[in-house]
Amino acid sequence: MQKTISIVIPVFNEEKNIPLIAHEIVRIFGTIPQYAYEIIFVDDGSRDNSQKVMEDLAKIDEKIKTIEFSRNFGKESATSAGIHYATGDAVIAIDADLQHPVSLIPQLIRRWENGADVVIGLRTKNEGQSAIKSFCSFVYYKIINAISDTPIEPGATDFRLIDRKVVDEFNKFTEHDRMTRGLIDWLGFKREFVAFQANERANGEAQYSLLKLAKLAVSSAVSHSLIPLKMAGYLGTCIIFTAGIGGLVVFIQRYMLNDMLGWNISGTAQLAILMIFFMGVMLACLGLIALYIGNIHKEVSGRPLYVVRKKRNLK
């Protein structure tokens, strides 16, 4: 039976790029006629003519489907929506700005046919990306991989193919504050990487400002790890011990041995030790709270307990 590939494209102010990418995808699928396909444009509250442009395309070609958001929800939500509505045997998410090479699609499909469940585009070089953005992304990956429960491959992009069974699992996620790529990584499955060089954006400006990226970075770090909060707890425990021992030594030497060693510790210093001790207690309590929040977070985000890749003789 002919397999169908769903192409999901999040769109935010891309009126010039929509016809370009649609045309490019139709052309590429012309070279692999054994596959059927659908193109799902998800308009993420564009303020230009994007909606009309994609609708006009959908009128001529029924393989082109469109979803319109009521406002800008962000790329992560747009991609998720596209994946929800996709009907294909595999879904490929790709940016509208032609930074992800459409010509790589047949290769992604080949890897999938050879057994991979998730085929991830790995960006080797990003033309036109500012030095500061590259540096930030480098630091970000270093930090997140040090603290996160799910390791993230540096350079891994949203340009990726996911198999139907991954799609079905992905659709079970209920969390709102999400990073699509992080969730797909969390799911696991058989993953393979395909390297590519990112092109320069075809038309328009990159929508992701540094501030927006920083927000995404923080939210993904927070949703994948409690280490920052737990660190406060560890720090507090260390402080309790040091200040506790220090305080004990001072107390014994000053009041029990009547300053036998002649240290002559002032009242202010004693007060300082006492304050540091209680600061430690407070930080340790924060760490304790982290444990509770961790449990709440796990329950509230309603993630599946486990994810099955394959079953045999079972429904």
Strands (E) located in 127-249: 156-163, 191-198
* Per-residue tokens: 114: 């050879």
* Separation between Cα atoms, residue 4 and residue 21, nearest integer Å: 19
**Cα maximum dimension of the chain:** 96
Instruction: Supply 246's token pair.
Output: 């220090």
Tokens coding 198: 């990112």
What does 111 interact with, of Mg ion, ligand UDP, none (CB < 5 to 8 A by kind)? none
**Contacts with Mg ion: how many residues (CB under 5 A)?**
2
Nearest to 155 by CA among 104, 209, 212, 193: 193
* Residue 160, beta-bridge partner list: 93, 120
For residue 211, the minimal CB distance to ligand UDP (Å) is 13
Q: Contact between 44 and Mg ion (CB under 5 A)? A: no
Q: Which two tokens stand for residue 34?
A: 């054994």
Closest distance of CB 208 from Mg ion, Å: 7
Q: What, of Mg ion, ligand UDP, none, does residue 208 touch, CB below 5 to 8 Å by kind? A: ligand UDP
Q: Which does 169 bind (CB under 5 to 8 A by kind): Mg ion, ligand UDP, none?
A: none
- Interior angle at CA 198, CA 144 and CA 20, nearest 5: 125
- Interacting residues toward ligand UDP by CB under 6 A: 10-12, 14, 44, 72, 74-75, 78, 95-97, 99, 201, 206-208
Q: Minimum Å distance from CB 154 to ligand UDP?
A: 15
Q: Which does 280 bind (CB under 5 to 8 A by kind): ligand UDP, Mg ion, none?
A: none
Q: Which partner in ligand UDP, Mg ion, none is near 284 (CB below 5 to 8 A by kind)?
A: none
Tokens encoding 41: 């444009």
Picked from ligand UDP, Mg ion, none, the partner binding residue 38 (CB below 5 to 8 A depending on kind) is none
Answer for the pair 6, 92: CB distance below 8 angstroms, yes or no: yes
**Nearer to Mg ion (CB atom), residue 100 or residue 191:** 100
Nearer to Mg ion, 206 or 235 (CB): 206
Minimum distance from residue 44 beta carbon to ligand UDP (Å): 4
Query: What separation, in Å, do the N-terminal and C-terminal C-alpha atoms of the chain show?
Result: 22
* Residue 10 interface partner, choices Mg ion, ligand UDP, none, CB cut-off 5-8 Å depending on type: ligand UDP
Choice between 84 and 303, CB closer to ligand UDP: 84
Nearer to Mg ion, 40 or 98 (CB): 98
Calculate Rg over the CA atoms of the chain: 27
- Tell me how far, at minimum, the Cβ of 245 lies from ligand UDP, in Å: 51
Distance CA 148, CA 71 (A): 31
Cα gap 163→62, rounded to integer Å? 23
Taking the least distance from each CB to Mg ion, the nearer of 126 and 270 is 126
Q: Which residue has the tokens 């953005």?
A: 133
Nearest to ligand UDP of 44, 185 (CB atom) = 44
What is the footprint of Mg ion within residues 65-104 (CB under 5 A)? 97, 99
Q: Which lies closer to ligand UDP via its Cβ, residue 181 or residue 201?
A: 201
Read off the DSSP letter of residue 47. Answer: S
By the criterion CB under 5 A, which residues form the site for Mg ion?
97, 99
